[in-house]
Amino acid sequence: MYQKEGYWDVKPKIKALSFPKRGKFEVTLQDGRSITMPISAFPSMKKVPVKERNNWYLIGGGFTWDSCPEVIHIEQILGNYANYAHEQNA
């Protein structure tokens, strides 16, 4: 019987958000994964003043700031699985 590897049955949940270097942010998930991305991919995040970026908070399945009108969801970080699932390309 085939044993699943990786994160097949794991629902990703955000644990932490950090800004390790200029122009980048890192999302740490509860399962231990970390994803580093360019801030430029999220124009609403880019508008949050640098001094306020560490004041983020979780809301629903995403995160935001008091000064940001948008909630950035985990799907925006990971991409839309339904559009890139390898089974569709078979």
The CATH number for 61's domain is 3.30.2020
Contact between 86 and 52 under an 8 Å Cβ cutoff? The reply is no
Work out the number of other CB atoms within 10 angstroms of the CB of residue 45: 21
Contact between 73 and 58 under an 8 Å Cβ cutoff? The reply is no
Bridge partners, 58 (sequence order): 63
Domain that holds residue 70: 14-89
Number of domains in the chain: 1
Res 68: pLDDT: 95
Residue 9 domain-assigned (yes or no) = no
pLDDT in tens, the chain (90 residues): 778 888 888 889 999 999 999 999 999 999 999 999 999 999 999 999 999 999 999 998 899 999 999 999 998 998 866 665 555 554
Residue 6 domain-assigned (yes or no) = no
Res 33: pLDDT: 95
Compute the distance between CA of residue 18 and CA of residue 87 in angstroms, rounded to an integer: 33
Residue 35 domain-assigned (yes or no) = yes
Beta strands in the chain (DSSP E): 14-18, 24-29, 34-38, 57-59, 62-64, 72-73
